[in-house]
A and B are shown apart, each in its own frame.
Chain A
Amino acid sequence: MYLLEVRDLTKHFGGIRAIEEVRFRAKEGSIMSIIGPNGAGKTTLFNCLTGITRPTKGAISFFDREITRLKPDSIVKLGVARTFQNIRLFREMTVIENVMVSQHCRTQSGLLSAIIRSSSFRDEEKAIKEKALEHLELVGLESYSDTIAGSLPYGSQKRLEIARAIATEPRLILLDEPTAGMNPQETGEMMGLIKKLQELGKTIILIEHDMKVVMGISENIVVLDHGVKIAEGTPSEIKCNPMVIEAYLGKEH
């Protein structure tokens, strides 16, 4: 069963072809990596998948549902969550508030029940808080729940972003460079966390530059170069693919 299917996805910014007829599929419960040199269009691809930018052409279907023209919040509601390359936390909110607000699309109490504090509202608030703590525990930030998010160290901010993504109860998580700027130990922890997410039944697509991570945890790799998919396959296939080597290291003379 394929969870995500991308067909001929194309995005042009004026004359620049950010991605050109990219197609791939992601199996449910798998970890997939998207790699490629800088400017290959990886983040643009993520932005198209999450509805932040509208693709010029092509189609994306998630669970056999067309999501190409949906707004970001509707896509999240269907079960796609993401993190950002340049961390985008709600910096002035506390750690737990960051995770609480992320359950927004899974909760529904309205204005009136908030004003009269009905029992359903109070139950929901309690559940939101409990779940938020669970998610924080998963990423190992439970002891920082009342810290202001912006004051967390870099690595913890990355993990908080993942907790926030999980809080939206997704089936597919898109991680944009989860280990960028991390030391080897932190990178190892992050790999463990990603595997844990997989065990929880989530499908994961990550953009990553650290080849140890890519080769270590992904089952399938898609290689982009200048917006075009140049290769796809298992880590061992990609390692010896001449096209990939050329894209990264240049042509042999």
Chain B
Amino acid sequence: MKKAIHPLTHSPLIISLWFSLLFLPFKGLEAAGILFIVLFAVVSLLKVFKNYAGKIKGRLNRDSDHYFINILRIAVEIYGRCPHLDPKTRSISLTLLISVVVMALPFYGHDYLIDIAVLSGIYIILAQGLNIVVGFTGLLNLGFVAFYAIGAYSYALLNTKLGMGFWASLPLSVMLVTLSGFILAIPALRLRGDYLAIVTLGFGEIVRLILNNWDSFTKGPNGIGGIEPPHIFGMQISRLGHFYYFIIIFVLFAVFIIRRVAASRIGRAWIAIREDEIASSSIGINTTAYKLYSFAFGAFWAGLAGVLFAAKMQFVSPESFTFMESVLVLCMVILGGLGSIPGVILGAIILVMLPEMLREVQLYRMLALGSGLVMLMIFRPQGLMGGKGVSFRS
């Protein structure tokens, strides 16, 4: 059951005051004042909008002679709420629109944008993997980036040490990561909730420290460079535009498979475990086994994302796999909505794009991001597209 939030935490004044006070010691009174005003305006607006959203909707459904309201209604209908349009046609047209925008990106976007889009794609796969563990099965994993790192380093090492190509290393690396998912899961799944989170956090750090300190094998903090980009039919995919399409194929592959698994008895068992572990075991779900599958299946996608990351960057170093990275991926999942596949895609895109877009305001970037997340949790705790209120229960 959802706990009622105290009305004070919903007050725009308190929210903006709190943030500006946090900000005060770093930037001085003036900046904090500006922040206060901006935040206050934004939060108040959000609140007003939230309050009147229902009223506006009701108004729109009624016939009216008012010119302005008619225009609004047309806008809303175009947006896709038209009652005459059958839902199938609407979803098809929406899909079509999105796919045109996505597929044509290399033709209208400049390299910088494509580069970010490629990165978003990699993070989408990674976040989908974590979504299986955290969103579906409800196991808080704070060291997820370890699997990403193992995937990336597997390809890097197989390629530079043994000279194996992308397609030969891909299944091998991904299998290795899945296996490491199993191995971590066996001891970790005896634990519940917070304890599991701490063990996974430790695992993430161990992997990073090994990569950082095993100089003879991983070249330590210097990282491994000169990794070969993938080939298709003898053609090397090194141009950004090509790589973009290459990533899209993998993203579609991941989403396709994860959706199907989520809609099967396996996915249902995962969600049941998230909802109530004791009840799941007493309707005949082998909870240990299914938590293990969930961990391994999630790790699989992290491994794939890691291989793609190594192939894209052609360079890996332990710096890319810090604890902050795990937190970022977790934020993508929570922002998008735990357990929601389209939500997690959106969350990943936003959290990759947003810091780039906010580059103009360098210093305020992380602050804006942080306050945005806090506000999201206040106003929409289930995430952008998570329909169901999910919390961590142990």
Contacts and interface: CB of A to CB of B under 8 A. Distances in A.
A and B: real partners? yes
Interface of A: 50, 52, 71-73, 76-77, 81-82, 84, 88-93, 97, 100-107, 109-111, 114-115, 117, 121, 124-125, 128, 148, 150, 164-165, 167-168
A76 B257 contact: no
Contact of B390 (A92, A124, A168): A92
Interface in B253-280: 257, 260-261, 263-266, 268-269, 271-272, 275-276, 278-280
B176 to A, nearest CB: 19
Interface string B115-158: 00000000000000000000000000000000000000000000
Interface stretch (B28-36, B88-96, B282-290): B282-290
A22 to B, nearest CB: 20
B279 A168 contact: no
Contact of B275 (A92, A103, A111, A125): A92
A114 B284 contact: no
15 contacts: A52-B281, A71-B286, A89-B275, A89-B276, A90-B275, A93-B268, A102-B284, A104-B285, A105-B285, A109-B265, A111-B261, A114-B264, A114-B266, A150-B1, A168-B283
A100 B266 contact: no
B238 to A, nearest CB: 31
Nearest to A125: B264
Given A90-B276, A91-B275, A92-B388, A50 B282 contact: yes
Interface string B1-32: 10000000000000000000000000000000
Contacts of A165: 283
Interface string B278-311: 1111111111000001000100000000000000
Contacts of B278: 52, 88
Nearest to A161: B279
A204 B1 CA distance: 31
A241 B41 CA distance: 75
Contacts of A124: 265
Interface residues of B, number: 29
A91 to B, nearest CB: 6
A47 to B, nearest CB: 9
B389 interface: yes
Of the listed residues B265, B271, B286, the one surrounded by the most CB atoms of chain A closer than 10 A to its CB is: B265
A250 to B, nearest CB: 35
A164 B283 contact: yes
A89 B389 CA distance: 15
Contacts of B261: 111, 114-115
A91 B271 CA distance: 10
Given A91-B276, A101-B280, A114-B264, 20 more contacts: A50-B282, A71-B286, A73-B286, A76-B284, A77-B284, A82-B282, A89-B275, A90-B271, A90-B279, A90-B280, A101-B268, A101-B269, A101-B272, A110-B266, A114-B266, A115-B257, A121-B264, A124-B265, A150-B1, A164-B283
Contacts of B271: 90, 92-93, 97, 101
Given A101-B268, A128-B265, A114 B388 contact: no
Interface of B: 1, 257, 260-261, 263-266, 268-269, 271-272, 275-276, 278-287, 293, 297, 388-390
Of the listed residues B260, B284, B285, B389, the one surrounded by the most CB atoms of chain A closer than 10 A to its CB is B284
A178 to B, nearest CB: 15
B276 A104 contact: no
Nearest to B257: A115
A81 B283 contact: yes
A92, A101, A103, A107, most chain B CB atoms within 10 A: A101
A109 to B, nearest CB: 6
B268 to A, nearest CB: 4
B260 A114 contact: yes
A105 to B, nearest CB: 3
Contacts of A91: 275-276
Of B272, B279, B280, B286, chain A has the most CB atoms within 10 Å of the CB of B279
Contacts of A81: 282-283
A109 B53 CA distance: 44
